[in-house]
Structure 1
Amino acid sequence: MTEADQPCAPRTFDHVVARMRTIDTVLPPHDGVAIFNRVYLSVTEEVGQRLITGHFHNPAATEELAVRFGGRYLAALDAVAAGRRPPACWRPLFQLRRHPAVRPLQFALAGINAHIGYDLALALISTCHGRELEPAALEGDFDRVGEVLVRMEERIREELMPGPDLLDVADPFTHLVGAWSLERARDAAWATFRTLWGLRGLPEVAEEFSDRVDAGVGLVGRCLLTPLG
């Protein structure tokens, strides 16, 4: 689904934030989507603060990327609400969002995995097309957003992991959440973006590649949501 096809696609950064704040008030706090939404909202608000303070070299392009990126998550929510299938990367989270044996950190990481692993590359592509930019024009600010995300990931893990007295190095949960890396996911997203950009003159090949990435990210998400009790 392209952004032009999305119902009620957000047009501004404030709209994205407002939608996520509304979602936060509507969903039950222990719902898996609600847990991811809270994480994503805090990241988006942090990026918004940095847009104001001049942290980014091209704030207009970075803001547009944030809007297009957030719009893909909101479109997945809208698809589920309308009874349609969301992209494969999002299906595990929506299917297991109320599973009692899946822990909060698993929900958070599964949502981040879906959004970074698949949505980010497509948001980068549409931003380059929309602003008539080459990928290199976004790379610096892409890395600056990444610095924000890495710090936020550390905080998320600290908040949602059990305390040291409860953390067992032999616990499968410890191994599961330790196996996924935000930094590696972002590297893969950038590589996917560059590949899709290179394939822009071959739309059928690009679509097939995009579908395969979507399915692969969904598989990782399903593993992250393995019920562990």
Structure 2
Amino acid sequence: MAEPVWGPVHRDIVDLLADHPADVPAVVDHLTKLQDLLVRLPPLEASCPLADFNRLYLVITESVLDGLYDGRFADPVFLSRLDVEFAARYFDALRLWTESSSTTPQAWACLFERMRGPDARPLPSAAAGVNAHINFDLPFALVTTFDHLESEPVDGSDQHRDYLEINAIFADRIPMLRRGYLDRWQLIIDMLNGDFDDWYQGELVEYTRDVAWRNAQKIWRCRHDPHARDGERARLDQTAASFGRLLLSPLGALLQ
């Protein structure tokens, strides 16, 4: 009999993934519970590559929730719905992997495959998760959100400005998050580099999220054409998977 995908925490993860969170506080709750389970996953346990990404995702989502409570966004209904749709795609990918489904997006599978070793370095692991979630999941989450709200992705709109505001959250949180993945000797090099590493990684996130917005606009125009939409899905999945494998390769370890 095949060993459960998630080993000793398999049943707990299956139960957690049984439903979708309905609002941003529930997304935070799901991510928190998932993190507690991932760090217990053998053989890597606390160094689980997926846990490295999930921790980053949790911190950013907590910051988004704080922003919603503080009135930071012009259209909190849009931002909340996007956060829920965005998270649903991550949890769906986890669910498909749990079921050993061949339909698991390759953008995510390349990271999930590393959970039983060989271990990947923390920063490339987190980057691979960000790559899958932004380059593959985010455009479709945007399209589903706009469709639900009977709106559309228009440059310069309140929704677009709120979307760009998330870049500011990343920029604020990246320094702390990135240093949390570094060893002591790497922290020394990081200190010598000053703010450069934080700056270019912030610029990379901003650029990547802008590409996701453009891809969402492209998908939006063909959303009623199943063939064209499936083509976009396959293209984005393949592109994100190729970049994810590079991040998780020995070359990608140079990120850290």
Alpha-carbon distance between aligned partners in 2 of 1:121 and 1:146, rounded to the nearest angstrom: 16
Alpha-carbon distance between aligned partners in 2 of 1:98 and 1:225, rounded to the nearest angstrom: 14
The 5 Å alignment of 1:128-167 reads 128-136=146-154, 137=157, 138-162=159-183, 163-165=186-188
User: Aligned pair 1:188/2:199, yes or no?
Assistant: no
Answer with 199-208 or 121-130: which moved more: 199-208
User: Aligned pair 1:223/2:241, yes or no?
Assistant: no
The 5 Å alignment of 1:1-229 reads 8-28=19-39, 29-85=46-102, 86-136=104-154, 137=157, 138-162=159-183, 163-165=186-188, 181-227=204-250, 228=253
User: Counterpart in 2 of 1:3?
Assistant: none
Q: Which of these two proteins has the greater Rg computed from alpha carbons?
A: 2
What's the TM-score once normalised by structure 2's chain length?
A: 0.77
> How far is the alpha carbon of 1:164 from its aligned partner?
4.4
Alpha-carbon distance between aligned partners in 2 of 1:166 and 1:60, rounded to the nearest angstrom: 42
Aligned CA RMSD, in angstroms, stands at 2.3
For these two proteins, the number of residue pairs brought into alignment is 216
**Gapped runs of 5+ residues in structure 2?**
1-16, 40-45
Preserved CA contact (<8 Å) 1:32 1:93: yes
1:112-164 Cα deviation digits (max 9, x unpaired):
11001111111100000001012124211100112112322333222223434
Preserved CA contact (<8 Å) 1:35 1:104: yes
**Gapped runs of 5+ residues in structure 1?**
1-5
1:147-183 Cα deviation digits (max 9, x unpaired):
112322333222223434467x9xxxx9xx97x9222
Alpha-carbon distance between aligned partners in 2 of 1:201 and 1:74, rounded to the nearest angstrom: 25
Structure having greater relative contact order (Cα 8 Å, sep ≥ 6): 1
> How far is the alpha carbon of 1:7 from its aligned partner?
5.4
Alpha-carbon distance between aligned partners in 1 of 2:175 and 2:68, rounded to the nearest angstrom: 22
- The sequence identity of aligned pairs, in percent, is 30
Given the superposition, is the C-alpha separation of residues 101 and 9 from structure 1 closer, same or farther in structure 2, using an over 3 Å criterion? closer
Answer with 82-91 or 51-60: which moved more: 82-91
1:33-64 Cα deviation digits (max 9, x unpaired):
11111110011001000000000000011001
Preserved CA contact (<8 Å) 1:153 1:182: no
What's the TM-score once normalised by structure 1's chain length?
A: 0.86
Which stretches of structure 1, 4 residues or more, deviate above 4 A after TM superposition?
Answer: none
Amino acid across the alignment from 2:51: A
Alpha-carbon distance between aligned partners in 1 of 2:112 and 2:119, rounded to the nearest angstrom: 15
Given the superposition, is the C-alpha separation of residues 101 and 32 from structure 1 closer, same or farther in structure 2, using an over 3 Å criterion? closer
Alpha-carbon distance between aligned partners in 1 of 2:246 and 2:95, rounded to the nearest angstrom: 24
Q: Give secondary structure in 2 for the equivalent of 1:10.
A: coil
Alpha-carbon distance between aligned partners in 2 of 1:187 and 1:90, rounded to the nearest angstrom: 21
Answer with 35-44 or 144-153: which moved more: 144-153
